[in-house]
Amino acid sequence: ASVYRLLFVAYLFPSILGPIVSICLFLHLGNHWGIEVLKIVLCVGFALQALNCIPLLCFERTKQDDDMAAKRAARRLRAGAGVAEPLLDPSSGDSGFGSGERDAAAVKGDDALANAVGVSWFGVPSRQVPFILFSANLLIALGSGATTKFFPLFFLNNLKLSPIQVQCIYLCVPAAMGASSAVCRWVSGHLGRVSSIMWFKLAGISLLCSMWAMEKFSNAYTVVRHPIVMVAVYVARTAIINSTYPVEESILMDCCKPSQRSRWKALESVSSFGWCGSAVIGGVLSDKHGYGFTFLITACLQFGSTLIYSPLLGGAVPLEVRTKTEDANGETDGETNGIDDAASFGEALTPPSSDSAVT
């Protein structure tokens, strides 16, 4: 999960630069919602997106770094993590593979992963975890799409915020998400990955329900009419509910066959399509019933998606293990020692008795 947390933070960093550029443009062009001003801001954003496409042409396929794999295996052996036999064949060189054995080893790893014995309290085996994760992500995308696109309009129409004030909100959100993802990563090491995901999702949903209640009763209570209160709840809600991404990705990579990981990642485009499609429904509901009603619908869908994770509690998701040697030396190669090969997968599926609460 630490690798995906770094990737998540790398994604959030440019998300901070966007609002900064917008704030500078609004300061120069005028801090108002005029169409001409918004056109210029949009065109600048489109131009910056075009520049982002240039580095994509520089990617090329490379072979796996066998030396790094050998280094990971050697650290596990030094740590005495209960490996009865060496993970590398001494006669096969530093990489641990003889000529023509790489494909056979990959197939063997897939078979070991497919036949893993991890089963949750509800009888869900580990091989079913990717299906459950995809279903949960699809449902939460449908719910989020109905609301996320309309938060700026909510800030404009209901809270009467200026463009710079709105951009300041979106400047704070990525920073809060980065901090929240670090907290989620820490919590997952104590409660288990599935449990931490569910608790963080429920916390974010509760805050979204609070936004619905504040919007509904804003005329009766003075304190909830203040924009700062609503904005603070929005920032906290967005940061908490989106901070689980690194942990979710680590579960997916640990529980699906290496040969099928790219397929499951490709299915994320289906969730993105549903996210965009539900925005149309969200727009209709917002115009007819108000933004608060849309918040409530989104919260209900997100709550349903959180319940989908519950069958994974109790053992379907393997523990994410770090050896004491790595923790003491602070060594890392960009990958945790949870499940980085098929040999360790079966062992990690059986949690120690002292960690019975860990999923």
Residue 225 lies in a domain: yes
Residue 101 lies in a domain: no
The DSSP code for 226 is S
Q: What range defines the domain where residue 288 resides?
A: 2-52+121-312
Residue 339 lies in a domain: no
Residue 142 lies in a domain: yes
Identify the CA nearest to 264 among candidates 359, 129, 142, 145: 129
Q: Give me the residues paired with residue 125 across strands.
A: 119
Q: CA-CA distance, 237 to 211, in Å (whole number)?
A: 9
What predicted TM-score, i.e. pTM, was given to this entire model?
Answer: 0.71
Residue with tokens 């975890």: 129
CATH of the domain at 241: 1.20.1250.20
Identify the CA nearest to 85 among candidates 77, 95, 93: 77
**What is the predicted pLDDT for the residue at 298?**
94
Cβ atoms within 10 Å, residue 198:
22
Residue 98 lies in a domain: no
**What is the predicted pLDDT for the residue at 109?**
46
**What is the predicted pLDDT for the residue at 325?**
38
Q: Give me the residues paired with residue 32 across strands.
A: none
**What is the predicted pLDDT for the residue at 113?**
45
Residue 298 lies in a domain: yes
| Cβ partners under 8 Å of residue 238, min gap 6 | 173, 176, 177, 204
Q: CA-CA distance, 118 to 336, in Å (whole number)?
A: 19
The one-letter code for the residue type at 39 is K
Measure Cα distances from 199 to 203, 211, 241, 353 in Å. Answer: 6, 19, 9, 23
**What is the predicted pLDDT for the residue at 307?**
93
Residue 324 lies in a domain: no
pLDDT along the chain (359 residues), means of 10: 71 85 94 93 90 78 61 67 50 46 46 49 74 89 88 91 95 91 89 91 95 80 75 95 89 79 76 78 88 92 92 70 43 37 30 32
Residue 244 lies in a domain: yes
- Give the chain's domain count: 1
Q: CA-CA distance, 124 to 1, in Å (whole number)?
A: 22
> 310: which 2 tokens?
């519950």
